[in-house]
Structure 1
């Protein structure tokens, strides 16, 4: 039977619960345990799929087509365990499920209430698909005391009783602020947060205290005394130079040992953390550096491109170089070639990521043209591939009005909405004016690669499977014209209907992909496209 670790946060948000959960899971995994991490989000959206990146950061997509919280990306990157739809649930999805059941009459006329119906649904989600696991880590989003999170706190209180003694623990992440004027760390916010959580029926077993100064033993003892935990269970969490140093840092503080002791498990021998030592060594001792220009529309919030940022770092790890990312707002140089050149000339490689809508599109097309004409390595992801096709159509194929139907009516729809496609579930359809949420081509889809292509050599395979999240596709009716302009369709869906990859064989490195390879990259297993892209950037840096 799986043991449960419930992770909550107090005092303020953005304390790094997700990274803590991912790091703890990685440490338990290094000790030989089978783990899975889940995220419970209190907001009323069914999923984050329709939320602005500025509101919530990136939307992370799983193999089975779920649009989920970005923390699931941390979970996968740190453990290598592929996330599933059952690993992320929101209040919106819980209430949607309950209301659908009520409308069908499943409750047989009973009054539907938060307790027991909502809490039972949360407990049910917690326990689904947990066979053959040693530990299930459940992170509760938000901050203790929020109205929205109360049903989740109540659910884990009940679940701890249901599971029985020794089958679950609570880990609470808090803030110990440093007051510069007084020159002191203050423990009172942590005391109040733990008291509020305990008042809701959940007594923490381990406290993880975020602080910007080392936490003295005297302060640990003080926190332990007032919060009813062992002094050894008060874990200091200082800022780390890289998120990939966090597992090692938590291990040094004894987090994994304290969690096992809370379950009554002898920690035994030290875990094998060689992979994390090697990753940090490559990060902190690079043999060079490159600059990658990311031309996007959400560059004001880097969490909007969280997986992309990390995949570029992974490409640097693979090549033993530091990757400096230059975030460039695509709107800033639309229609001005001089500004395009000024922004992109310092870059050793250019990447145009996924996006929705017409804003910034012309700036991205200008970036593609710059990379093609200046022979700078170019990587187009999703929207970036579509812009590469439009740029090629306009400037090399003689289709001056080439555009996308996403931008409005056009006589030359090089990119258009797809209303029907084949998946492992059969034929899937969508209406152009239908709901936005969950109506894209989502999740893992296979693709076949041309045997003599650049991407086939990068992957070392002729068949791949990658994750998608998009509504629009490159129109194969323009394939012949685009290929005459030198843009080769080197990856296609198995039925040859949907373009998956384009490339320019006469360019040092020019690849566009319809999928999101960044979602499958890990520090200990960098995605081959990112490793190859950064290798091309390294080669470019030696030419300038």
Structure 2
């Protein structure tokens, strides 16, 4: 295997994840088997217990790992499911080293950061590559050069060059070149200092990638090359673009793919970038556009819904439409939901935890149901729809989830039985890929193109479920259970995976998170169908508004 290590400097949140994923996309377009690993220098074992406002969304892999959101970028850009162990944290490395020390694996040795922790880091990176069967492994090191907590990881990737050889290792360093309006010039000094700091740890970058507002002038590129001892044709500009899917094309145009081929002694191959070219064409010049109201409680932090937003983009590409997001704070919906949904073509209620904004989300589901506006509920969004239906259609006044009201008279959403035995919070939910058995003739089966019914896998992250005790009442009142998890003991027909309404243009809600498996080249079926329904709703309203008035003659 060959290894590409991506480090960052100057400031955090420069976009190392997008840069790593974009480079992976260029290599995939050349036919190579590629995987990616994210190294996070925090002591948490995983990202599952972190605040969305600080860290963005928690991305869930097929194996059930709760990871950094950059893993989602890897899967979307590389069109693959990353294997278990693709998100490595300081907590994981130290936990394993301490476990082995207690087990006696290091008898007579003084256990130290070097070599024991660094060896564990290297072992995990290699294992992730082997599990993926990869020819090239991209490794993104979180944080910035100079952070104290990153030192073991920088030392580990430094050692890779001695272990694997120059022809099998490549170091790419991403930095910031700010533009000062007062002097009307790009400033390269931060990049110079950042590369110098990286060199102080024994790593000399082979490629320097620069984040900037605009594409760098040639003279600035040459200046960076001179002061960082990197060839000018290996300094690349990662400038601001309208969407991240433009980044692979911009970097390929500058010659990044060819530079990597040369540095890693790869065969020159003409890449097939048609997927990205089509995506950008639709996003720049779509035939249609729709507006989707996203009723959530993390609306001030869009990264908290990153995979969901990308899934909507993918669905837009599939429908040749631009998807505009109308952010709605769920807490503001409790008074007058109609005012917040004026002019929208569809309503989406995403997943989440905690009681804040719940009543507003229930009002959103009620408005969508009664006003015949296309509705898509994801995870909590399905539970919300069930609560709303139980209250206002079935007549179960006070129906609720035990997550929000332990003394509710009708607990239509309840804690999963296995969760009663769980200890702790981290990694204890129902996580990863689980099967959904689609009922024949339902809308959910139709949109997965299996009208006769069948089984599909989607990713999950939840503790609560639809209480099977109330399913007969809900179905008798007109709610359709479209899919269940097969073979769930004690759950009657099985854990409810999706619900839908027959007398509605589009009302579908799922317990799973299908957004985690959506790709630009393979959009999630529920999202693609939702945007198609929203587009039909928009076109229908437009036709109604343009119809001439009919003159009626009265006797």
TM-score range, shorter chain: over 0.9
- Counterpart of 1:111 in structure 2 is 110
- State the match for 1:208 in structure 2: 209
| Native 8 Å contact 1:66 1:84 kept in 2 | no
User: CA separation in 2, counterparts of 1:265 and 1:333?
Assistant: 56
Alignment of 1:235-384 (within 5 A): 235-266=236-267, 268-334=268-334, 336=335, 339-384=336-381
| Worse overlay, 123-132 or 279-288 | 123-132
Contact 2:289–2:321 under 8 Å retained in 1: yes
Q: Which residue of 1 aligns with 2:435?
A: 446
C-alpha displacement at 1:430, in angstroms? 4.9
Pairwise CA distance, 1:109: 4.4
Look up the SS of the partner of 2:483 in the other structure.
strand
| Matched-pair contact (CA < 8 Å) for 2:83–2:128 | no
Number of the residue aligned with 1:532: 529
State how far apart, in whole Å, the 1-side matches of 2:368 and 2:141 are: 44
Q: Does 1:501 align with 2:498?
A: yes
Partner in structure 2 of residue 231 of structure 1: 232
Q: Confirm or deny: 8 A CA contact 2:275 2:521 kept in the other structure.
A: yes
Match of 1:195 in 2: 196
TM-score (norm 1): 0.96
Instruction: Give distance in 1, aligned partners of 2:108 and 2:95.
Output: 18
- Equivalent residue, structure 2, for 1:179: 180
Deviates more, 1:391-400 or 1:220-229: 220-229
Moved over 3 A (4+): none
**What residue number does 2:511 align with?**
514
What secondary structure is seen at the aligned counterpart in 1 of 2:167?
coil
Q: Deviations over 1:184-241 (max 9, x none)?
A: 1111111100000011001000000111133122222221121111110011111111
Say if 1:193 and 1:543 are closer, same or farther in 2 by CA, change over 3 A.
Answer: same
CA contact (8 A) 2:86 2:128 kept: no
SS at match of 2:137: strand
Following superposition, the deviation at residue 14 of structure 1 comes to: 1.1
- TM alignment of 1:459-498, pairs within 5 A: 459-461=448-450, 462-495=454-487, 496-498=493-495
* RMSD (Å), alpha carbons: 1.2
- Structure 2 contact 279–317 (Cα < 8 Å) conserved: yes
Give the Cα–Cα distance (whole angstroms) in 2 for the partners of residues 393 and 96 of structure 1: 46
Work out the CA distance in 1 between the residues paired with 2:32 and 2:388: 50
CA distance in 2, matches of 1:109, 1:85: 32
Please report how far the alpha carbon of residue 259 of structure 1 lies from its aligned counterpart in structure 2 after TM superposition: 1.4
Does the CA-based 8 Å contact 2:319-2:531 persist in structure 1? yes
**Structure 1 residue 408: deviation in Å?**
3.1
Cα deviation digits, residues 52-74 of structure 1 (max 9, x gap): 10110000001110001100111
- For structure 2, the 5+ residue unaligned runs are 488-492, 542-555
Is residue 297–residue 329 contact of structure 1 (8 Å, CA) maintained in 2?
Answer: yes
TM-score by length of 2: 0.94
Asked whether the equivalents of residues 290 and 348 of structure 1 are also in contact (C-alpha less than 8 Å), the reply is yes
1:14 corresponds in structure 2 to 13
* Residues 364-417 of structure 1 deviation map (CA, whole Å, 9 limit, x = unaligned): 000000000000001010000001000010011111011111013123110011
Q: Deviations over 1:285-330 (max 9, x none)?
A: 1111111001011111000000000001111111101110111110
Query: Is the CA contact (8 Å cut-off) linking 1:354 and 1:383 kept in structure 2?
Result: yes
2:546 is matched with none
The alignment partner of 1:85 has SS state of coil
Using the TM superposition, name which of 61-70 and 252-261 deviates more.
Answer: 252-261
In the alignment, structure 1 segments of 5+ residues that lack a partner are 421-428
CA contact under 8 A between 2:333 and 2:361: conserved in structure 1?
A: no
How far apart, CA to CA, are the structure 2 residues paired with 1:137 and 1:129?
10
> Residues of 2 paired with 1:279 and 1:543: CA distance?
26
8 A contact 2:49–2:425 mirrored in 1: yes
Contact between 2:37 and 2:128, CA under 8 Å: does it hold in 1?
Answer: no
CA distance in 1, matches of 2:84, 2:301: 26
| Displacement after TM superposition at 1:112 (Å) | 1.8
State whether structure 2 residue 455 is matched by structure 1 residue 455: no
Contact 1:430/1:439 (CA < 8 Å) preserved in 2?
A: no
Give the secondary-structure state (helix, strand or coil) at the position aligned to 1:160: helix
Contact 2:275–2:520 (Cα < 8 Å) also in 1: no
Cα distance in 1, alignment partners of residues 381 and 405 from structure 2: 18
Moved more, 212-221 or 519-528: 212-221
Deviates more, 1:158-167 or 1:465-474: 158-167
The aligned residue for residue 413 of structure 2 is: 415
Tell whether the 8 Å contact from 1:353 to 1:383 is kept in structure 2 after alignment.
yes
**What's the counterpart of residue 403 of structure 1?**
400
CA drift at 1:110: 2.5
State the secondary structure of the residue aligned to 1:39: strand
Listed one character per residue, the Cα deviations across residues 406-444 of structure 1 (whole Å, up to 9, x for unaligned) are 013123110011132xxxxxxxx6536x31110000000
Please name the residue that 2:547 is paired with: none
**Aligned CA distance change for structure 1 residues 143 and 104 (closer, same or farther; 3 Å):** same
SS at match of 1:48: coil
SS at match of 1:452: coil
Using the alignment, how far apart are the partners of 1:347 and 1:481 within structure 2? 32
